[in-house]
Amino acid sequence: MAGLMIKDTAELPVRKATISYDKLNLMYIKGRLNKIFAKEMNSPASIFRKVNGDVINKIAAFISGDLNRSCSVGIAGETASGKSTIAFDIISKIQEFADSHKLDNIITRINIDDYYYDRSDMVKAAGSFAEFAKNYDLDVPEALELELMKEHMTKLLRGESVMLPKYDMSGTAKRYDNFALVKPSKVIISEGLFALTDKIVDAFDFKIYVDVSADVQKERFYIRAAERDLGDSTDEVYQNASKKAQIYVHPTAMKADIVLSGEANREDYKKFINEIIELIEEVHEMKSSDVKPCKLLLQ
């Protein structure tokens, strides 16, 4: 075309890629997490009932080191929903990873049930825990010292050690304060009926709710009631627990980043956790070798 001049491309400035190693690392982790979550969510018996869109970004930020601080996880759900079992499986898998790599202070568990107020004098006065339970409501947030629990969480996230209480669940309603010294760790996980209630919900980076059908929950509850010797007060306690759960527990599911099925196969939970652990191990090895994430992105 007349008047159009083409410069020699050799004269043009070369623009180099400016994507940093950290950015590529984060991109790779997000991609892997998307695949892991998608595979599980699309499985016939998925452990998930809901996953908010930002969860993967937050997990990737912690795994990559983009967020270089302790991570807190809160797990809520109705009594006998399976939240303690899920918390235990997460803890055991992460601890296995820590042990295999000789890493210290990786995960700490805070049991919200340990913050029930000491009511041992009331149990003694009633003659038994069954009689005590007829007149004292254990299924409301006010039955626990949640302010103390949040204080302990805040200190741990600041890097301070704390002395945790221990509540006797055998039927004495006794709480032992300053029971166990706990040091700060990379992951702090806590579970309980009221983990996502207003007093403590903002202490958690990741908010999880465990959902379960009424029939399964009731069956589990009655098995547990027999273990705790609730006797002829079992029906009354169950009815109260169900009623109060409608008020204080079920609505907190709306605050959850993830809603899990409390009826999913336990091995499926472990398998999913293992896949996350494998990604963490891969990133751990990547950082200690000359393998760059840009190479892995091309695989």
> How does pLDDT run across 74-88, given as a tens digit for each residue?
999 998 899 999 999
User: What number is the average pLDDT over the span 6-14?
Assistant: 49
Instruction: State the residue for tokens 């790599």.
Output: 101
Element at 211 (helix H, strand E): strand 206-211
CA distances from 141 to 133, 210, 241, 253 (A): 16, 18, 12, 16
**Does 1 have pLDDT greater than 80?**
no
**Does 4 have pLDDT greater than 60?**
no
> Is the separation of the CB atoms in 172 and 126 below 8 Å?
no
Is 41 within a domain?
no
Return the sign of the alpha-carbon dihedral for residues 164, 144, 88, 205.
negative
User: Encoding tokens for residue 161?
Assistant: 């050690």
Give the pLDDT band of residue 152 (cuts 50, 70, 90): very high
Is 115 within a domain?
yes
pLDDT at 67: 87
pLDDT at 86: 92
> Is the separation of the CB atoms in 197 and 209 below 8 Å?
no
Instruction: State the residue for tokens 């983990």.
Output: 195
Q: What is the CATH number of the domain that holds 149?
A: 3.40.50.300
Is 56 within a domain?
yes
22 vs 186, more confident = 186
The pTM for the full model equals 0.85
User: What number is the average pLDDT over the span 157-164?
Assistant: 94
Is 1 within a domain?
no
Neighbours of 171 (CB within 10 A): 16
Is 37 within a domain?
no
Domain that holds residue 275: 46-282
DSSP, collapsed to helix, strand or coil, labels residue 177 as strand
Q: Could you give the number of structural domains in the chain?
A: 1
User: What number is the average pLDDT over the span 113-118?
Assistant: 95
Is 152 within a domain?
yes
Return the sign of the alpha-carbon dihedral for residues 154, 160, 163, 169.
positive
User: What number is the average pLDDT over the span 102-113?
Assistant: 91
**Does 92 have pLDDT greater than 50?**
yes
Is 204 within a domain?
yes
Is 72 within a domain?
yes
15-29, 53-67, 187-201, 216-230: the lowest-pLDDT one: 15-29
Distance CA 83, CA 193 (A): 9
**Does 291 have pLDDT greater than 90?**
no
Distance CA 137, CA 143 (A): 7
